[in-house]
Structure 1
Amino acid sequence: MISNTIVLPNGIELKNRIVKAAMSEALADKTNQPNTDHIALYERWAEGGAGVLISGNVMIDRSQLGEPGNIVLDNKTDRNALISWAKAGTYNDTKFLLQINHPGKQAPKSMSKKPVAPSTIKLSKEFSALFNEPRELTTDEVRELIEKFVLAGKIAEETGFSGVEIHAAHGYLINQFLSPADNKRKDEYGGTLKNRMRFMVEVFQGIRKITSPKFIIGLKLNSSDFTEDGFSEKDSLKVIVQMAELGIDFIEISGGNYEKAKVMDVGQGVFFLDFAKKAQNSVDIPIMLTGGLTSKQGIEDVIHKEGISLVGLGRSLIMNPNIPNQLISDAFQSVQLPRLSTGIKTLDKKVGGAIGIAYYEQQIEKLVAGKQAKYTTNAWGPLLHTVFRHGLHSITGKRR
């Protein structure tokens, strides 16, 4: 049953197997603080009945942001606002995790004049107008960033959050360390897979050391980067086994990066299912599968037939925040996600993924206001909305 509880490796029991997956809220102001919009949004999702809520990207370095509207978690963050946000998201016996992240070279020009990365490997030519070439981090700077991740975990627990999810997917900084295509370092953080894992492992172990045993620490990991000589499925399985042995509480499976986006479009089926099954069969910890699930039958099949421990729902929970409660009461069958189009094929191809994100950010604003999401296939409204709000740089295909 979807309503069956599940116990994580650290002993924390989740009331059900449905997780609200991370999605970009884009609600923070220029000071990058959580606010009343975040509180209203996550209280609504908590009321909807999910066992776990995971926030959108929360950055750990104010000088390196991934997109407009990011929250930053550091000693300058308003702790009272964090406490209120955590209280809203843990309502209704819900566990609420902050997804902590650093963009690395995927910090747009509008966010960072000089992004940092494991090595000076820039994004492909088609992104050259949007992203600057990164500067290679020194070994001391690498260790300083690890400490910033650890501090974020400490603050999250002190302000009432149930845990954190370390973002090591989608081409962001930790994924860049893991990828041999992005990581050409000659120190202890580059070379072998063991060394390329070191940044992520030290982030995890640092947070685990400084927080209580009941603080949940999850990991979002690529099944593959889908790039030549990048992070492969073979490497990913090795990382999953190693992190399970080290005591991670769950691993969410994803894939791709800005250059090879794999989870942007609707209608591709259930993403990464085959790999998630391999991962779940390789470890005893919960594996979480997110992407492409819009029906009761699909969700039940993933849990019962495929044996995956946790199901992540993203855009479906924007269109209908009450899906978890409705699943448990047998009142839910499916939700329809729109395929947006401007009517211009070349434009759709160029910014289609970003239009989708713009549309869902627009619907998030409706949830904040206590309204229902509005179904439409017309992409012009969302496109113009995000350009006016965030500028042209906001349609570059940002990820969650």
Structure 2
Amino acid sequence: MSNPLDLPCGLRLPNRITKAAMSEALAGSDNAPNEQLAHLYRRWGKGGYGLLITGNVAVDRTQLGEPGNVVIEDDRDHDALASWSKAAHDGGTPIFVQLNHPGRQANPLNLGHTPVAPSAVALAMPGAATPRELTDTEIEDIVDRFARAATVCEAAGFDGVQIHAAHGYLVTQFLSPLANLRTDKWGGDPERRRRFLLEIVRRTRKAVSPGFAVSVKLNSADFQKGGFTEAESRDVVAALVNEGVDLIEISGGNYESPAMSGSAAASTRAREAYFLEYAASVKGIAGHVPIAVTGGFRTHAGMDSAVRSGECDLVGIARPSATNPEAAADIFADEDAELKTHEISYGLRPLLGRVADLKQLDGLLNISWNTDQLHRLSRGQEPDLKRGPIKTTLTMVRRNGRFTFGKRRGL
């Protein structure tokens, strides 16, 4: 794990542990990076990681997954973005910006806002609005937005971008036969459903310099009956390799079926790396393109074995880094090291289970709990491991609620 890794674009990662993306929700009302983000990444930059990947950065300020998303539409925030990238580089760590569009997973508490998606299929979650189907012109505009945002990131000193094609966001919606019911050039069969992602990668790769990394976060599957399958995912990997990507990170699930969160079954967590078997199955397809796996890694032994065996090239750490920003350094320092995570769940389960999907609720609760920890770290505070579900829920509603009733341009 301590060996460096050279990406196809020429960028050298100093080791094989990545701080995977977690949405920070730290931007202000102007959706610009700020000193809190810089402070957080300065701390992670000194945490021993070989690569840092930011949380959701939106390419359209009228379509946000949550309040506090950084938005990159043009170079208006160049100086703030440059400070963000420098904060990571101060610790000697490369940094990628995760570019994203929420599609139908736009903030559910933003009442009155109609999200957009490949088709008018609502998210199967309480309170989800039915999205409006995107026109061909709008789809082309979104593709261009990803490419434009990548050029801004390169100018601001970042080392690469990651296109978010996992966890149920817009790119995943195009890939999914459950969410994409189109019959035009953007849907109708697996080849056309992956066109949106491939066009984003193609135009992004063309827009940036050869030494700037273009990577993709991809679901192994969405774990829903009739949904995006491992077989389709393998075909997407093969297509991405042909488009010249520099890194593919494997994850899985979405907010309807949250395999990527702490709500995974105990038997799944016991395997430590949730998606490693799938990753090993695409290594031959990926060829010279490195494969990263995020989800479940907790021990030095598990991470080292995954890399040494060749099942993956990098391991991603997400939730442990929310409470331990030096998680990677701790793993390298001790062969017996095991990272700790904290999981909480709602009470009154028999009653609550009658009206809601407990797996979904607990998944969202744990995501919010970790976001709260990131906010503490960004203010120079230490994590609050005793934070319970009630306080976490109130913070989640308050964080989203300030966005709910505010006026935003373009809505």
User: Quick one: percent identity of the two aligned structures?
Assistant: 39
* Kept after mapping to 2: 8 A contact 1:106/1:172: yes
- For structure 2, the 5+ residue unaligned runs are 405-411
Question: What is the CA–CA distance in structure 2 between the aligned matches of 1:178 and 1:133, rounded to whole Å?
Answer: 18
Question: Structure 1 pair 371/198, CA: closer, same or farther in 2 (3 Å)?
Answer: same
- For structure 1, the 5+ residue unaligned runs are 395-400
Question: Structure 1 pair 11/255, CA: closer, same or farther in 2 (3 Å)?
Answer: same
Question: What is the CA–CA distance in structure 2 between the aligned matches of 1:256 and 1:162, rounded to whole Å?
Answer: 27
Question: What is the CA–CA distance in structure 1 between the aligned matches of 2:108 and 2:119, rounded to whole Å?
Answer: 18
Which runs of structure 2 are paired with 1:1-400 in the superposition (5 Å)? 2-75=1-74, 77-111=76-110, 113-124=113-124, 126-127=125-126, 129=127, 131-265=128-262, 267=266, 268-269=268-269, 270-284=273-287, 285-305=289-309, 307-330=311-334, 333-346=337-350, 347=352, 349=358, 351-376=361-386, 378-391=388-401
Counterpart secondary structure, 1:361: helix
Question: What is the CA–CA distance in structure 2 between the aligned matches of 1:201 and 1:290, rounded to whole Å?
Answer: 22
Q: Deviations over 1:181-223 (max 9, x none)?
A: 2222222111232221111111111111111111011101111
Deviation at 1:282, TM superposition (A): 2.5
Q: Deviations over 1:247-269 (max 9, x none)?
A: 11111111122211112226542
Counterpart secondary structure, 2:91: helix
Question: What is the CA–CA distance in structure 2 between the aligned matches of 1:386 and 1:174, rounded to whole Å?
Answer: 25
Deviation at 1:281, TM superposition (A): 3.2
* Kept after mapping to 1: 8 A contact 2:220/2:230: yes
Question: Structure 1 pair 344/310, CA: closer, same or farther in 2 (3 Å)?
Answer: same
* Kept after mapping to 1: 8 A contact 2:67/2:399: no
* Kept after mapping to 1: 8 A contact 2:107/2:400: no
Question: Structure 1 pair 293/377, CA: closer, same or farther in 2 (3 Å)?
Answer: farther
More displaced, 22-31 or 347-356?
A: 347-356
Q: Deviations over 1:4-56 (max 9, x none)?
A: 00111112111000100000111111221111100000010001121110000
Deviation at 1:180, TM superposition (A): 1.9
How does the TM-score come out when normalised to structure 1?
Answer: 0.92
* Kept after mapping to 1: 8 A contact 2:97/2:158: yes
More displaced, 330-339 or 30-39?
A: 330-339
Question: Structure 1 pair 352/105, CA: closer, same or farther in 2 (3 Å)?
Answer: same
More displaced, 27-36 or 182-191?
A: 182-191
Q: Deviations over 1:93-120 (max 9, x none)?
A: 2111110000111113434711111111
Q: Which amino acid aligns with 1:304?
A: R
Question: What is the CA–CA distance in structure 2 between the aligned matches of 1:301 and 1:364, rounded to whole Å?
Answer: 29
Counterpart secondary structure, 2:249: strand
* Kept after mapping to 1: 8 A contact 2:222/2:254: yes
Deviation at 1:226, TM superposition (A): 1.6
Question: Structure 1 pair 387/132, CA: closer, same or farther in 2 (3 Å)?
Answer: closer
Question: What is the CA–CA distance in structure 1 between the aligned matches of 2:108 and 2:345, rounded to whole Å?
Answer: 27
How does the TM-score come out when normalised to structure 2?
Answer: 0.90
* Kept after mapping to 2: 8 A contact 1:21/1:314: yes
Counterpart secondary structure, 1:93: coil
Deviation at 1:372, TM superposition (A): 2.7
Q: Which amino acid aligns with 1:293?
A: F
More displaced, 41-50 or 172-181?
A: 172-181
> Counterpart of 1:398?
none
Q: Which amino acid aligns with 2:382?
A: Q
Counterpart secondary structure, 1:252: strand
Root-mean-square deviation over aligned CA pairs: 2.1
More displaced, 39-48 or 272-281?
A: 272-281
Deviation at 1:245, TM superposition (A): 2.3
Deviation at 1:75, TM superposition (A): 1.8
Question: What is the CA–CA distance in structure 1 between the aligned matches of 2:398 and 2:140, rounded to whole Å?
Answer: 38
Q: Deviations over 1:315-355 (max 9, x none)?
A: 11122111222333337611221221344325592621222
Question: Structure 1 pair 77/355, CA: closer, same or farther in 2 (3 Å)?
Answer: farther
* Kept after mapping to 1: 8 A contact 2:163/2:217: yes
* Kept after mapping to 2: 8 A contact 1:180/1:229: yes
Counterpart secondary structure, 1:228: coil
Question: Structure 1 pair 113/3, CA: closer, same or farther in 2 (3 Å)?
Answer: same
Counterpart secondary structure, 1:43: helix
